Chains A and B, each alone.
Chain A
Amino acid sequence: MEIIEKIKTNKSDDNLTEIQKICLHKLHSSPLPNHKSELWRLSNKSKLSTFLDYSVNEKDSKFDIPYPKNSQSTIRLIIGENCQIKLIEKNYSIQHLSEDELQKYIKEQISFFKQNENWSDLLNLSLSCKNNILGLKINGSKIPPIEIFSHASSNALNAKTLVIFLEKNCDIELLQVNLGKENSSLSQSTFFCLKENSSLNHGVVSYGENRSNLLNSLNVIQQKNSAYNLGSLHFKFNYARFEISIKQSAGNAKTNIKGMQITKKDEQISTYTKIEFNGPNGFLDQINKSLADDKSHAIFEGSIIVPKIAQRTDASQLSRNLLLSNLAQIDTKPQLEIIADDVKCKHGATISQLNEEELFYMRTRGITLTEASKLQLSSYFQEIISFIPISKDKWDLLDKLLNEN
C-alpha cells in the first residue's frame, strides 16, 4: 500500500497544499482506520487494502460520460476537468468559491474530524490536489438542475472533493454521479452547507464496473429552516462505503433520506449514517434498503443523536433488507441516542426475502417466476429511485437494475 507508506514516512512535499499537509499530519500516527471500532468492524479488510493498492492519479484521462445530456437546461460539471463556471443570471448565480472561503471552510470541518469517523474524509483531503477540488457558491431561485460527475480511471486511485454553499433562500436540484472504472478506486468527499431557508434535492448515483472500489463520504450542515432531501443508489462495486453525516446546526430543519444498496457476487457495500440534531423541532425521515445476493455482504449502520437541546425532534429511521441467497449476509444496526424527553423517535429494521404468497399469486395468474420476482423487485426499487432527482426521465435506472445487474 504505497499511499499508507507515504503517509507513514510523512515526507514533506512542496507541491502539497496546506490542507493536504494538515490531513497527512492527522493520519500520520495511525494511517489506517481501527478495525476494532464499531464503524470499521464489519468492513472487509482485504477489500480496503485493494482500494489502497492503486497509485494516486491526479490527472484524468479524457472521460466520456455514458449518459446522454438530452436537456439544454441542465448544467453539467465534471470534477477534475478544468471546469470554469461563472453564471450570473437574473434569478440566480453559480460561482466558484474563493480560495480563502474554501480553505477556511475545509479547515473548520477538519477541526471536528475524528480519526475513525472521518478517516475517509481525511484520506480524501490528503490526496485531493487543487484541480480535483470543486467549490461552488449557489444563490437564487429557478436554477436549472445541476449534474456533477466524479470518476476514477482504470488501475488508479482518484480523489475528488466537492464543496457547495447554498446561500439563503436558494432552491436547487443536484445529481451527483460517481462512476467507477474496472480495477479502480474512487475517493469522493462532498461538503454541503445549507444556509437558512435553502432547499436541496440531492441525488447520488454510484455505479461501478468490475472490481471498482468507492469511498464516498457526504457531510451536510443544515441551518435553520433548510430542507435536505437525499435519494441515493450504490451498486456494482467490489467494495463501497457510503458515509453520511448530517448536522442540523440549530434545529428547525427537515431531512429526508432514501437510500439503497445492491450487492451481488462477492461485493461488499455499506452505508453509515449519523444524524445529529443540535436544536429543537428537527425532522428526519430515513429509509435505507439493501439487497444482497450471491456471496455478497450489505451493511447498514445508522445513528440518530438527540441531545437535550433538541426538544420536539421527530425522527424515524427504517432499515429494510432483502436477503436472496444462502451465502449472502446482511448486517443492520439502527441506533437511537436520546437525552431530550419531548421527542418522537422510532426506528425499525426487517430482513426477509421476496414474499412467497405474492409470488404464488402472480404465478397463478400466468406470470413466470422470473417475471414475478422482477415485478416485486421493481416495486422495492421504485420507492427509492423515484426519489432521485433529474435521473428520472433520462436514465432508466430501474431497467439497469433489473436487467443489467
Chain B
Amino acid sequence: MVNENLVKDVVKEPYKYGFVTDIETEKIEKGLNEDIIKLISQKKEEPKFLLDFRLKAFKKWQKMKEPDWAALGYKKIDYQDIIYYSAPKQKEKISSLDEVDPKLLETFDKLGIPLTEQKKLTNVAVDAVFDSVSIATTFREELAEHGVIFCSISEAVKNHADLIEKYLGTVVPASDNYFAALNSAVFSDGSFVYIPKGVTCPMDLSSYFRINSGDSGQFERTLIIAEESSSVSYLEGCTAPMFDTNTLHAAVVELIALDDASIKYSTVQNWYAGDEEGIGGIFNFVTKRGKCLGKRSKISWSQVETGSAITWKYPSCLLLGEESVGEFYSVALTNNLQQADTGTKMIHIGPKTKSTIISKGISAGNSKNSYRGLVKMGTKATGSRNYSQCDSMLIGDQASANTFPYIKSQQPNSEIEHEASTCRISEDQLFYLQSRGIEFEEAVSMMVSGFCRDVFNQLPMEFAAEADKLLALKLEGSVG
C-alpha cells in the first residue's frame, strides 16, 4: 500500500533559484498607455516601423478581452499596476563581457549559466536576458564566421532592421490573442537568430531569461529564421526570484523554417511557482508558434514545464510546406496550487505534412494540469498524418488531470490518431522496486523519469540532464 503522505512529501522541494540580485535598475513608471509605449520605443532607439507596430498592437489590445476559456482560475490581473520596462543600469555600450556588472555575471553563475568566455567547454552560445533587457550574448564571433546572427532583438532592430521588418509578426500577428497583442505593444527584449542558407549552426544556441524585480512584467520576443537547408537547435531556460506578488510573463516566440530547414526549440521552464499556499509565483502566458513555410521543413518543440503559478502555453506548428513536419514533446509537472493549461496546435495546410504530439502531465498536491490541443487537417492536406499521445499521472487524490483534444478534419486522404490515458504510480511497481532495495523516494523518481522518457529522449543532451535533475529535485524531499 502506498503511503499517500509519503508521496506528497516526496514531491515537495524548495525553489532554489528564488534569490534576488541586489542591483541598481532603471525602471519606468507603472501603467500602460501610448506614452509608455513611445517611451519604451524611444529608450530602445527604435525605427518608426516598430513604433507603429507597437501602437497598432496596443490599439488592438485595448479592444480585446482577456480569454477565460482555459481551465484556469486566478485573480484578475491589473495591467496598470505593472512596470513595463526595467533594466539593470550599465555603461552605455558594452564591448566585452568584462564590462558587464560583475553582480550580473555572478547571478548567472549562480544559476549555472556560463557567460564568461573562459567557460567555452560547454560549447553553447548564450543570450542572457535580465528583466527587460539582454545583458550579454556569448560566442558571437565564432557564430559570425558561419554567417549565423545571434543577438538580442534590440540589437537586431538596429543592425538587421530589414529582416525584422520582413518577419516580425508574420507568424504571430499582433491581433492573434490578448497576450500576444500585449507583448507586441510592450515587448522589451529577447533573442534574434538568423541561420543563412545551407548552414548547420555549429553549436546549440541558448537564451536564459531571469525576472529579478517583483513589480515588473517580462515581455520578451524571440524570432528565429532558418533559411533554406539550414538547421539550428535552440534552448531556453527561465527562473525568477520568490516574491509574494504575482509577476506577469507574456512572451511571444516566432519560428520560420524555409525549404529543407529544421528548427529544434527546447524549453526548460522553471519560473517561481508560488509557495505551498499558492502565494506569489509567475503568471506565464506565452504564445509560441512556428511556421513550416518551405518544403520538407521541420519544427520541433520540446518543453519541460515545472514552474509558474499559472501556465497558459500552446506551442504550435503551421505546416504549410509540402512534406513539412511538426513535432511537440512536452512534460508538465504541477504541484501544490499550480495550474497548467498547455498543449499544442498542429495545423496541417500543405499536402503530405506530418505531426507527432507526445504530452506527459504529472499532477501532484492540489494542482490542476490540463492538456488542450488542436489537430486540424485543411482541405489541401492530402496524405497528411498526425499521431497524438497524451498521458497523465496523478499523485494524490487532490490533484486533477484534464484532457481536451480538439480534432478537425476536412481531408479524407489524411489520418489522425489520438490516444490518452490516465494512471497513477503503480503500487506493484513501487513494491517491486522497494523489494529490490531501492529507496521509496528514488523509486518514485525512477518511475516518473520512466514515464517521461519519450520526451526526455527528444531533448538536447545538456537539457535532458537538466530536466531529469529538475524533476528528480522536485520529487526529492523530506523522506526519511
Contacts and interface: CB of A to CB of B under 8 A. Distances in A.
B408 A331 contact: yes
A324 interface: yes
A109 interface: no
B399 A349 contact: no
Contacts of B414: 351-352
B422 A343 contact: yes
Given A334-B418, A351-B377, 19 more contacts: A327-B410, A328-B412, A333-B406, A334-B403, A336-B422, A337-B400, A337-B402, A339-B398, A340-B397, A341-B394, A341-B396, A341-B397, A341-B399, A347-B403, A348-B418, A349-B405, A349-B418, A349-B419, A351-B415
Interface string B4-34: 0000000000000000000000000000000
Interface string B381-422: 000000000001011111111111111111111111111111
A321 interface: yes
B130 to A, nearest CB: 40
Given A326-B412, A348-B420, A350-B418, A334 B398 contact: no
Contacts of A104: none
B110 interface: no
B413 A330 contact: no
B415 A350 contact: yes
Nearest to B388: A349
A375 B42 CA distance: 71
Identify which of A311, A327, A329 gathers the most chain B CB atoms within 10 Å of its CB: A329
A221 interface: no
Given A347-B419, A350-B416, A338 B400 contact: yes
29 contacts: A311-B397, A323-B409, A323-B412, A328-B410, A330-B407, A330-B409, A331-B406, A332-B407, A333-B406, A335-B402, A337-B400, A339-B397, A339-B400, A340-B394, A340-B397, A342-B424, A344-B423, A346-B422, A347-B403, A347-B419, A348-B420, A349-B416, A349-B417, A349-B418, A350-B417, A350-B418, A351-B377, A351-B407, A353-B413
Contacts of A346: 419-422
B405 A333 contact: yes
Interface in A276-329: 308, 311, 321, 323-329
Minimum-distance CB pairs A-B, first 7? A341-B394, A346-B421, A349-B418, A345-B422, A351-B416, A348-B419, A323-B412
Contacts of A348: 417-420
Contacts of A332: 407-408
B107 interface: no
Nearest to B416: A351
Nearest to B424: A341
Interface range for B? 20 to 34
A347 B392 CA distance: 12
Given A342-B424, A344-B422, A336 B403 contact: yes
Contacts of A349: 405, 407, 416-419
Contacts of B394: 338, 340-341, 343
B424 A338 contact: no
Contact of A336 (B413, B415, B420): B420
Interface string A348-386: 111111000000000000000000000000000000000
B379 interface: yes
A330 B416 CA distance: 11
Contacts of B406: 331, 333
A353 to B, nearest CB: 5
Nearest to A347: B420
A344 B404 CA distance: 17
B412 A325 contact: yes
A202 to B, nearest CB: 27
A323 B412 CA distance: 5
Interface residues of A, number: 34
A340 B4 CA distance: 13
Interface in B357-398: 377, 379, 392, 394-398
Q: Is the interface of B mostly helix, strand, loop or mixed?
A: strand
Contacts of A308: 397-398
B353 to A, nearest CB: 15
Contacts of B407: 330-333, 349, 351
A209 to B, nearest CB: 27
Contacts of B404: 333, 335
Contacts of B403: 334-336, 347
A342 B425 CA distance: 9
Nearest to A339: B400
A350 B387 CA distance: 9
Nearest to B372: A335
A365 to B, nearest CB: 24
A307 to B, nearest CB: 9
Contacts of B411: 323, 326
A315 to B, nearest CB: 9
Contacts of A340: 394, 397
Contacts of A350: 415-418
Contacts of A329: 408-410
A335 B419 CA distance: 11
A329 B414 CA distance: 12
A336 B373 CA distance: 13
A327 B410 CA distance: 7
Contacts of A338: 392, 394, 400-402, 422
B70 to A, nearest CB: 12
B421 A345 contact: yes
B402 A336 contact: yes
Nearest to B397: A341
A334 B405 contact: yes
Interface string B249-278: 000000000000000000000000000000
A13 B410 CA distance: 48
Nearest to A330: B409
A95 B437 CA distance: 66
Interface string B85-110: 00000000000000000000000000
A139 B479 CA distance: 57
A275 to B, nearest CB: 14
A141 to B, nearest CB: 37
Contacts of A324: 412
Interface string A146-168: 00000000000000000000000
A157 B410 CA distance: 32
A336 B361 CA distance: 13
A194 B394 CA distance: 32
A196 B409 CA distance: 42
Interface string B205-220: 0000000000000000
Interface string A120-137: 000000000000000000
Contacts of B421: 345-346
A332 B410 CA distance: 12
Contact of B395 (A321, A327, A341): A341
A316 B52 CA distance: 52
Interface string B413-450: 11111111111100000000000000000000000000
Contacts of B409: 321, 323, 329-330, 351
